[in-house]
Chains A and B, each alone.
Chain A
Amino acid sequence: MERSLTHIALFAALIAVLGLVPKIDLAAGVPITAQSLGIMLCGTVLGARRGALAVLLFLALVALGLPLLSGGRGGLGVFASPSVGYLVGFPVAAFVTGWLMERTTLSVGLAAGLSAVIGGIGVLYVFGIIGMSVMLSKTLPEAAFLGMAFLPGDLLKAVIAGLVTQSLARMRPASLLSRA
């Protein structure tokens, strides 16, 4: 009970930190924030249920008025902005990522990377694109076109999520709750 609670709270904090650290310089010259990487890690490390709860807790803090989204955004306004679809998709993305991670028997790094691609990109984009389509009154293909700008950066983040998860599994096998 306590352990679940603190893991959820600490990973919610991790998502926030990854959005606040201005430049982790994930790869040379690519100006991306690591916030969605935090969503992926919630799934690959904590698993479906706890990962999704950590993301929900993070979103609750944003809604409460803390400027924790990348770029210092926060408050209720972000839930009325065109990116609301991505926010709604965050917990689902973490859940799907964790669910896949729990069920595959692939090696940890590969499983984490692939789960992050399917959950953290595929599922997240479906929500994000529907959100933009509704908020900006665009058709789905038009909204999808707008959303594709982030695809290269997100693919890179999925690879990093796989590498980080693999390193964690090697250093501290018991820490990987998604494979516990």
Chain B
Amino acid sequence: MLTLTSPVEIWAHRVPAGLKLALMAAATTGLFALATPLPLALALLATTALYATGGATFAWAGLHLLRPLWPFIVVVAAWHLWTGDLTGGAVVLLRMVCAVALANFVTMTTQLSKMLAVVQWLARPLRAIGLSPRSLALAVALTIRFIPVMLERTAQIRESWSARSPRRPRWRVLVPATLAALDDADRAAEALRARGGAA
């Protein structure tokens, strides 16, 4: 399973995950306190510099991760051109790109295992309501393991549908796919119990 962690190792990979997350939260809160375009533009410049320290390949991958924002950029830009409030539009767009880029930076420089360790640490208070950090880690591992299994099976269901019918399967693949997920859940539960349980 691919993660969004950058394969290009940079200095930030060695910074503790908890520290990066805390800094990111502080920076994002700061961004929302800024209400004029100039400081936000400087913040974006600083973010760009942060990416640049990772080298061209890293920075390019970071830019690539911002791609899903383009519909929002188009809508907001069109909106503010139409209403004539260009300053407001610049504030919204700069803040959005900067906040998302900073969060992506943390994701790109933190391995899944380290992020999971932080989540387990944060989830400790949940032990009070019966959720042990261990079963959380187990659930995460199970989900990650079963995503490729279910993807493959969905493809098989579609193929066998195509073998029987000239029409495309559409939503009907969902019933066997969901049913298979329920069956898998029962079997995985049995397997866990046979190995001493999840608690």
Contact = CB atoms under 8 A, between A and B. Distances in A.
Interface of A: 1-3, 5-14, 16-18, 20-21, 24-27, 34, 37, 41, 45, 57-58, 60-61, 63-68, 71, 73-82, 135-138, 142, 146, 160, 163-164, 167-168, 171-172, 175
A68 B144 CA distance: 10
B185 A16 contact: no
A65 B5 contact: yes
Contact of B68 (A13, A65, A71, A137): A71
B111 to A, nearest CB: 8
Contacts of B91: 137
B197 to A, nearest CB: 6
A1 B199 contact: yes
B49 interface: no
7 contacts: A3-B186, A16-B147, A75-B104, A80-B28, A80-B103, A160-B174, A175-B179
Interface of B: 1-5, 21, 24, 28, 65-66, 68-69, 72, 75-76, 79, 88, 91-92, 96, 99-104, 106-108, 110, 112, 115-116, 119, 135, 138-140, 142-144, 146-147, 150-151, 154, 168-171, 173-175, 177-179, 181-182, 184-186, 188-190, 192-193, 197-199
B182 A10 contact: yes
B181 A24 contact: no
Contacts of A136: 72, 76, 92, 96
Contact of A14 (B115, B135, B181): B181
Contacts of B175: 164, 167-168, 171
Contacts of A160: 171, 174
Main SS of the interface on chain B?
helix
B104 A7 contact: no
Contacts of B1: 66
Contacts of B102: 80
Contact of B197 (A1, A17, A24, A64): A1
Given A25-B170, A136-B76, A2 B182 contact: no
Given A10-B146, A77-B101, A168-B175, A3 B185 contact: yes
A76 B106 contact: yes
Contact of A41 (B66, B170, B178, B198): B178
Contacts of B106: 76
Contacts of B69: 81
A27 B140 contact: no
A17 B140 contact: no
B170 A24 contact: yes
Contacts of A74: 4, 107
Contact of A66 (B21, B144, B171): B144
Nearest to B88: A137
Nearest to A134: B32
Contacts of B192: 2, 5-6
Given A5-B138, A13-B150, A80-B100, A65 B168 contact: no
